[in-house]
Amino acid sequence: PARGARRLRGLVELSNDKKDAETRTTADTIIADADASASEKASAAQPPAQMAIAAQDSDAALRYIGIAVDADILDNDQHYTLLLQRAQLQIQAKDYAAALASADRFLNETKSNDPQALATKGNALYRLERYAEAADALRPAVAAHPDRGDRQQLLADSLARSGKGDEALRIAEQAAGGNPGDKQAQFNLAQNYIQSKQNAKAIEVLERMRKAGQLTEDTDYRQLFTLYANMEGKEQQTIDAINEGVSKGVLKPDYNVYVALAQSYYFSEQVEKAIENYTKAGPLGKDGSAYLNLANLLRNEQRIPEAKAAAQKALDKGLKNPDAAKKILALPGK
* Per-residue pLDDT tens over the stretch 275-302: 999 999 999 999 999 999 999 999 999 9
The answer for 18, left when phi > 0, alpha when psi is -120 to 50, beta otherwise, is left
DSSP, res 87: H
251 confidence band (pLDDT: 50, 70, 90): very high
pLDDT digits (tens, 9 = 90+) for 116-163: 999 999 999 999 999 999 999 999 999 998 878 788 889 998 998 999
- Cβ neighbour number for residue 9 with a 10 Å cutoff: 10
235: nearest Cα among 273, 203, 274, 264: 264
Per-residue pLDDT at 2 exceeds 80: no
- State the amino acid at position 9 in one-letter form: R
Q: Is 181 exposed, middle or buried (0-12, 13-18, 19+ CB in 10 A)?
A: exposed
Q: What is the pTM of this model?
A: 0.71
DSSP, res 35: T
Residue 11: what pLDDT?
Answer: 85
1 confidence band (pLDDT: 50, 70, 90): low
Per-residue pLDDT at 334 exceeds 70: no
pLDDT digits (tens, 9 = 90+) for 33-57: 888 888 888 888 988 999 999 989 9
29: nearest Cα among 40, 39, 18: 40
30: nearest Cα among 48, 50, 54, 52: 48
Mean pLDDT of 208-225: 96
Residue 333: what pLDDT?
Answer: 74
273 confidence band (pLDDT: 50, 70, 90): very high
Per-residue pLDDT at 253 exceeds 90: yes
Mean pLDDT of 206-214: 96
Contacts of 179 (CB under 8 A, 6+ apart): 149, 185, 186
Residue 228: what pLDDT?
Answer: 97
Q: What does the alpha-carbon distance between residue 146 and residue 144 come to, in Å, rounded to a whole number?
A: 6
Residue 37: what pLDDT?
Answer: 84
Residue 297: what pLDDT?
Answer: 97
Please provide the distance, in angstroms rounded to a whole number, between the alpha carbons at the two ends of the chain: 100
Mean pLDDT of 234-243: 98
Chain center to CA of 38: 42
Q: What does the alpha-carbon distance between residue 102 and residue 91 come to, in Å, rounded to a whole number?
A: 10
Residue 34: what pLDDT?
Answer: 85
What is the sign of the dihedral through the CA atoms of 36, 40, 46 and 48? negative
